Amino acid sequence: MKFLLLSKFPMKRQKPETEFQ
């Protein structure tokens, strides 16, 4: 599910932890 957020926030792709968190 975090990959979906990464798609929306490519700028934070280097910080996936804050994404799915």
pTM over 0.75: no
Give the pLDDT confidence score for residue 16 in this predicted structure: 60
DSSP string, 2-13: HHHHHHH-GGGT
| pLDDT (tens place) for every residue of the chain, 21 residues total | 566 666 666 665 566 665 555
Token pair 């599910």: residue: 1
